[in-house]
Structure 1
Amino acid sequence: MKLKTFAIAVASMVLIMSLSASVSASGKNVIQGGWYPWKPYQYLEKNSNDRLQLTGLDVQLLKEVFEEELGLTLKLPQVDWKVHQQDISEGMRDVAGGAFITPDRERYAYFSAPYRNEDIVLISRRSESSAIAMLQPDEFKQSFPSSKLRIGVVSGYYYGDAIDSFLKNPSNQDRWTSVKTDIENLQNLANGKVDLVAIDRLVGSTLIWEESLSRDLIAGKEHIFSGPIVALFSRRTTSPALVAAFDQAMQKLKDDGRYNQIVRDYLFPSLLAMTAGQPWFFALETIGTAAFAFSGILLARRDRFSLFGALVLASLPAFGGGIIRDLIANRDQPAVLQSTHNLIIVIALVLISHFLARLTKLRGLPRMLEKLHFGEKTVQVLDALGLSAFTVVGVIVAVEEKCNPLILWGPIFSAMTGAGGAILRDVIRADASHPTLRHDFYAELSFFWGLMLSIFITLYANSNNLHPLPMNLAVLLTTLGCLLSRLIVMQRGIKSSTFMSKT
C-alpha cells in the first residue's frame, strides 16, 4: 500500500514537472491575475511588520499552485471583478480565482477542476418581516419577482439562475442596485437603500461579524444557489496545458494536507463567526461579562476598596484574560478596544451599585447580596455562563490568529480567556488563598471544552465539508457542556486536586 502511494506521488510530481516545463517553454513565466475585497477569500491584512499584505483562501491557494508548485510568477493587483472578467475576455489578464461556471464565461475562459464549493444566501434587516420571508429559497423564487422589494448585488457576480434572470429583465431595473464590493451592499442594506442582499455565505458572515451588524441584519439559513468554484483561464493568453498543470498541482495540495491547512486558517474563522455573531451568543457573552463584573463588585465591597478599586476588580475578570490572550497572540488590536459594549456594562454596574448604596443609605447593595446565599449562587451561575461563552471565544481567537497546533493553543486561550482575569483579580486583591489557582475546579473546565472544540475543528477541516450547521452545533454543545460541567462542579462541591500533595 505504501509503495502504491509512493508511486502515485512520484507520477503526479513527474506530470506536474512535465506540464510546467511545457508552460515555461511557451514563454509564459508570469501569470497576471487580480484580486478584489472578498474576505475570507481575498483581502488585505497587516503582517508582522505592520504593513498590509494580500492574503485569503483563494490567494494562498493560487500562490501555492503557481509559485511553489509550477515555479511561475503570480501578479495580483487590485481590480474590480467586472473589469477582471473583461480583461480575461480580452486577454489582458490570465487567471481569476473564485468563479462559478457559466455559459457566458465559457466563451472566453477555460475552467479548472472545481477546488471548493460556494453557497449564496440572502441577507435582510431584522426589522423587515416581508424581506425576512424572502430568505427562504422557495418563497424568494415564488414571491420576490412580483414584490416591490429591492435587491443589492455586486457588479459582474453570478448568483444563480433565479437572480440572474431577474437582473436581465429590463422591467426590473429600478429594483436592483449594483455596487463594487459586498461591504457597500451591506451598508446600503443597513441604511435602507435595498431590502435584500445576495452574498456568499462565508463572506456575509465575516462582514456582519467584523462590522458589528448582527443586531441589525439577519442571513438566511438555506442557500438560494450553490455550485462548484473554479479558476478561470483566458483563452487568449493561456492553454489547456496550463489548466491541466494547475489541476494536478491543486490535487497535490489536497494530498499532502496543505489544502486542508489553508482552508482551516481562512474559512473556519468565518464559520465560527456565524455562530458567535448570533443574538443568543451575544446575549450569553453579555451576561457573562456582567456576571464577572458583579463578582468583582462584591469582592470590592467586602474588602473595602475605593470606587476606582471596584472598577479595577470588576474589569479584570471581564477583560483581563482576553487582554493577556491578545498580547500573546500579537493581535493588532485587543478585543476590549474593538467594542465599547462590554466596557460600558462594567462601568454602569459599578456606578449603579455605588450610587444605589449611597441613595438608600444602606451599607451597600453588594453587601446585602453578599450575606444572601441566593445572591451568591446567582452570581456563580451567571459566572458559569460567562465562562462557557469565553471558552468558545478563546478558540475563535486561536483560529483567527492561525495559532498552530490548534489542539494546543485553542484550549490554552480558552482557559486564559475564561479564568485569566479572575487570577489577575486575586493577585491585585493580594488574596493568599488564590481560589482560582488552588482549589476551584474552574480553568480546567474551560481548558477541557476548548480542547474538545479544537479537536472537532481540526477533524472537520479534513472532511472538506464547509456547511455551517455542524460548526454551529459544535459551538452550542461546547457552550452547554462547559456550563453544565461548571454547574455540576458547584452543586457537588468538587475541588481541584492539589499538585504533588503530601501523603
Structure 2
Amino acid sequence: MLAFILCFSAPSYGDCDITLRWDDDPPYFMVQEGKVVGIDADLVREAMGRLDCGISFQKMPWARALRELRDGHVDMLSGAYRTPEREEYAHYSEVVGLVSPNILFIRRSDESRFELNGLRQLLESGFRLGAQIHVSYSDEYSALIQNPDYDKNIEYLSRREPLWLMLARDRVDGVVASQLTGLYEIQELGLTGTLIPSSLVVSNKPAYFVFSKATVTAGFVADFDRALQSMLDDGTFASIVNRYVCVAACAGLSETEDDPEDCSLAGL
C-alpha cells in the first residue's frame, strides 16, 4: 500500500502554494486553536501534502469566492456544484469521495408519525417545516415556496441553530439540512438521539473541489485527483471524516469504513 501511495505523490510541486477559500461552515471549515480545520480543510491539507504543495487559506463569502476563482485571485474552492457557467472558468475534480445530501431531520419520537413521500405531500398534510431564509434546498423546494398556500407551514429563520431548538421543542416538525452539517450541529447542541435524519432525501447533488483555470493546470488537478483517490483507498479519507462526523452515520463515503467505535462522534 505504501508503494501505491508513493506512486501518486511522485509528482512534486514543492514550489507551489494553493490558495483555498474557506468560511465558517462546520464540519467542513472552522477554527480551532487558531488553525483552520474541518473535513474539507483537512482533506485538502493531506492531499496537498502528498503532492509536496503548500496551502494557504483565504476567508471570504461564497459569492465573492466564485468571482475570485474566475479572475484567478483564489486557486481553489470546495463544495461547488457543477454548472455550465462555472465550467467556463473552473477545472472540476472528478473524485467525489463524499456526498452529503440535503435531508429532512425529524424528532426520533415522530419516526412513524409522518408519511415521508415528499415535501409537497408533507406540507399539504399540515407538516410544519423549518428552513433558512434565502437557501434553496432543491428545485422542488424552490418551486413550493413560491406558492402562498404553503406559507403558513414554513418557519423561516436566518440561522440553523434556533431551528434545531425549535424542532426539539415541537415548534416545527422537521428541518432540512446537509446530512453532515446536521449531524455535526445536532451533536454540538447535545441533541443526539432526540433529533435524527429521516429517510426523505430532498436533494442529492454531488459537490466538488474546483480549481481556477487562470492559475491551475489540468495536469495539477489530475494529480490532485490521484492523491485524493489514494486517500480513499488507504482509509485516510474516512479517518479525516471521522474526526468530525462518524462515517457509519453518513452516506456516500468510499467503501472503506472504519469501526464506528473509533469515530469521534460514534453513536450518531
| Both proteins in one fold, TM over 0.5 | yes
Quote the offset at 1:11 in angstroms: 4.9
Work out the percentage of aligned pairs sharing the same amino acid.
23
Contact 2:137 2:203 in 1 (8 A): yes
Distance, in Å, in 1 between the alignment partners of 2:93 and 2:249 is 26
Correspondence for 2:59: 78
Correspondence for 1:397: none
Identify the structure with bigger relative contact order (alpha carbons < 8 Å, sequence gap 6+): 2
- Equivalent residue of 2:118, what SS? helix
The alignment status of 1:251 with 2:229, answered yes or no, reads: yes
1:190 to 165, 170, 177: 165
Contiguous gaps of at least 5 residues in structure 2: none
- Equivalent residue of 1:116, what SS? coil
User: Quick check: which one's helix share is greater?
Assistant: 1
Quote the offset at 1:250 in angstroms: 1.2
The alignment status of 1:95 with 2:76, answered yes or no, reads: yes
Distance, in Å, in 1 between the alignment partners of 2:87 and 2:174 is 29
Distance, in Å, in 2 between the alignment partners of 1:215 and 1:257 is 28
Cα–Cα, structure 1 residues 254 and 191, in superposed 2: closer, same or farther, change >3 Å?
A: closer
The alignment status of 1:235 with 2:213, answered yes or no, reads: yes
Quote the offset at 1:247 in angstroms: 0.5
Correspondence for 2:246: 268
User: Quick check: which one's strand share is greater?
Assistant: 2
Cα–Cα, structure 1 residues 464 and 81, in superposed 2: closer, same or farther, change >3 Å?
A: farther
The alignment status of 1:30 with 2:9, answered yes or no, reads: no
The alignment of Structure 1 onto Structure 2 pairs a total of residues equal to: 253
Contact 1:115 1:228 in 2 (8 A): no
Quote the offset at 1:79 in angstroms: 2.9
Spell out the pairing of 1:268-417 with structure 2 (5 A cutoff). 268=246, 271=249
Deviations 1:428-473 (A, max 9, x none): xxxxxxxxxxxxxxxxxxxxxxxxxxxxxxxxx984359x9xx9xx
Contact 1:112 1:244 in 2 (8 A): yes
Contact 2:90 2:212 in 1 (8 A): yes
Deviations 1:138-172 (A, max 9, x none): 232444489785542375x66343335446x5869
- Equivalent residue of 1:37, what SS? coil
2:104 to 113, 116, 122: 122
Quote the offset at 1:65 in angstroms: 1.6
- Equivalent residue of 1:246, what SS? helix
2:139 to 153, 161, 174: 161
Output the TM-score relative to the length of structure 1: 0.41
Letter in 2 for 1:122: L
Distance, in Å, in 2 between the alignment partners of 1:170 and 1:65 is 45
- Equivalent residue of 2:73, what SS? coil
The alignment status of 1:112 with 2:93, answered yes or no, reads: yes
Correspondence for 1:40: 27
1:12 to 8, 20, 29: 8
Deviations 1:217-236 (A, max 9, x none): 55424432224342022334
Q: Aligned-pair RMSD on alpha carbons? A: 4.2
Letter in 2 for 1:220: S
Spell out the pairing of 1:466-485 with structure 2 (5 A cutoff). none
Deviations 1:286-343 (A, max 9, x none): xxxxxxxxxxxxxxxxxxxxxxxxxxxxxxxxxxxxxxxxxxxxxxxxxxxxxxxxxx
Distance, in Å, in 2 between the alignment partners of 1:173 and 1:80 is 31
Distance, in Å, in 2 between the alignment partners of 1:211 and 1:9 is 38
Cα–Cα, structure 1 residues 151 and 188, in superposed 2: closer, same or farther, change >3 Å?
A: closer
Quote the offset at 1:118 in angstroms: 1.5
